[in-house]
Structure 1
Amino acid sequence: MTRTEGPGALAHLRSLPSWLVGRVAAHGRSLVAEAIAEEGLRPPQHTVLAAVAEHGPVAQADLVRRLGLDAKDVVLLLNDLEDAGLAVRRPDPRDRRKNAVTVTQSGTQTLERCAELAERANAELLSPLSAAEGRQLMDLLDRVHEARAGDRRP
């Protein structure tokens, strides 16, 4: 009998770091999604708004490249953000054929509140750990992430 058959197969699956990290990540995403919903945002909207705030004014095509999202999805997300008064699209001064997206003052304030809500959600996620254990977990996850990011560097 192999590890994939009979008793122990589920226990083996649950012993894999990839399974455990995925489950914890899903719980964390759910906590943050629930928290930022108080501001009327879904996680993809929050991501696009944060990217616009950090890189704006930014061309829509640049947002697509930076975020690795489908262009049609970014347009829909920007429509939502613009309708909510959180971002605006205007002709790009460098190339009038393109739109540049900028975060509004209301968008900046929303991002500040979302940051606080996300911090609280993550504190809840890590609440079973001491402060030192939480820092250690973050250091270890960062090391794994950076090693993987290093594999993709040219």
Structure 2
Amino acid sequence: MTSDFQRIQSLPTWLLGRVAARGRGMVADAIAAEGLKLMHHAVLAATAEYGPVTQADLGRRLAVDPKDMVGILNHLQEQGLVLRSPHPSDRRKNAVTVTSEGVAVLLRCGALAEVANAELLAPLTPDEGKQLMALLTRLQGAAESPA
């Protein structure tokens, strides 16, 4: 007879959550070498992709509370990774742009994250890794589609 805990541990949601937590931890540890946390990295990446972008737009895109976004941007600006200046079309808002140092840090963090992800997937063959990514991408796509 299986216990309730054994049943829980066999659920895909449990397994995905445990693997995701391990992967997030591995990436967080890797990018800590650059002085960043996961959310700093996400904000820096979004700024590089969408900048110049308002603080409010960054918050909406990443589902970050405005007060938390201010703290994250303060840290990134103190490190010289982003600049905040009046938005060209609405001077009441701040536009956030990534600096050249921010781009360099983002590239280094990307390389560190790749190594961490390769370590996470190391128990799998290359074909199994590709299959896992295809399946996870399909599940993610289904989760984003209206039911």
TM-score range with shorter-chain normalisation?
Answer: over 0.9
TM superposition score normalised by structure 1: 0.93
**Distance in 2 between the 1:43 and 1:148 partners?**
22
Alignment gaps of 5+ in structure 1: 1-5
Between the aligned partners of 1:13 and 1:102, the Cα distance in structure 2 is 45
Q: What letter is aligned with 1:118?
A: A
Corresponding position: 1:42 with 2:59 = no
**Is 1:53 the equivalent of 2:74?**
no
- TM norm structure 2: 0.97
Q: Distance in 1 between matches of 2:2 and 2:102?
A: 52
Alignment partner of 1:86 out of 81, 87, 91: 81
Corresponding residue of 1:145: 140
CA distance in 2, matches of 1:86, 1:26: 27
| 1:97 corresponding residue in structure 2 | 92
Counterpart mapping for 1:17-36 below 5 A: 17-36=12-31
Moved over 4 A (4+): none
Query: 1:129-153 CA distances to partner (integer Å, 9 max, x unpaired)?
Result: 000000000000010110110127x
Which residue number in structure 1 is paired with residue 123 of structure 2?
128
Matched, 1:110 2:105: yes
Cα shift at 1:100: 0.0
Question: Aligned residue pairs: how many?
Answer: 147
Displacement, 1:10? 1.1
Amino acid at match of 1:34: D
User: Could you tell me how far apart the structure 1 residues matched to 2:22 and 2:87 are?
Assistant: 39
Q: Which runs of 5+ in 2 are unaligned?
A: none
The CA distance in 1 between the partners of 2:113 and 2:19, in whole Å, is 15
Structure 1 or 2, whichever has the larger Rg, is 1
| Offset from partner CA, 1:73-127 (integer Å, 9 cap, x none) | 0000000000000000000011111100000000000000000000000000000
Within 2, Cα distance between the matches of 1:7 and 1:105? 56
How many Å separate the matches in 2 of 1:10 and 1:61?
42
Deviating more after overlay: 62-71 vs 6-15: 6-15
CA RMSD of aligned residues (A): 1.1
- Confirm or deny that 1:67 pairs with 2:68: no
Displacement after TM superposition at 1:8 (Å): 1.4
Q: Which amino acid aligns with 1:94?
A: S
Partner residue, 1:3: none
Letter in 2 for 1:67: L
CA distance in 2 between partners of 1:7 and 1:150 (Å): 35
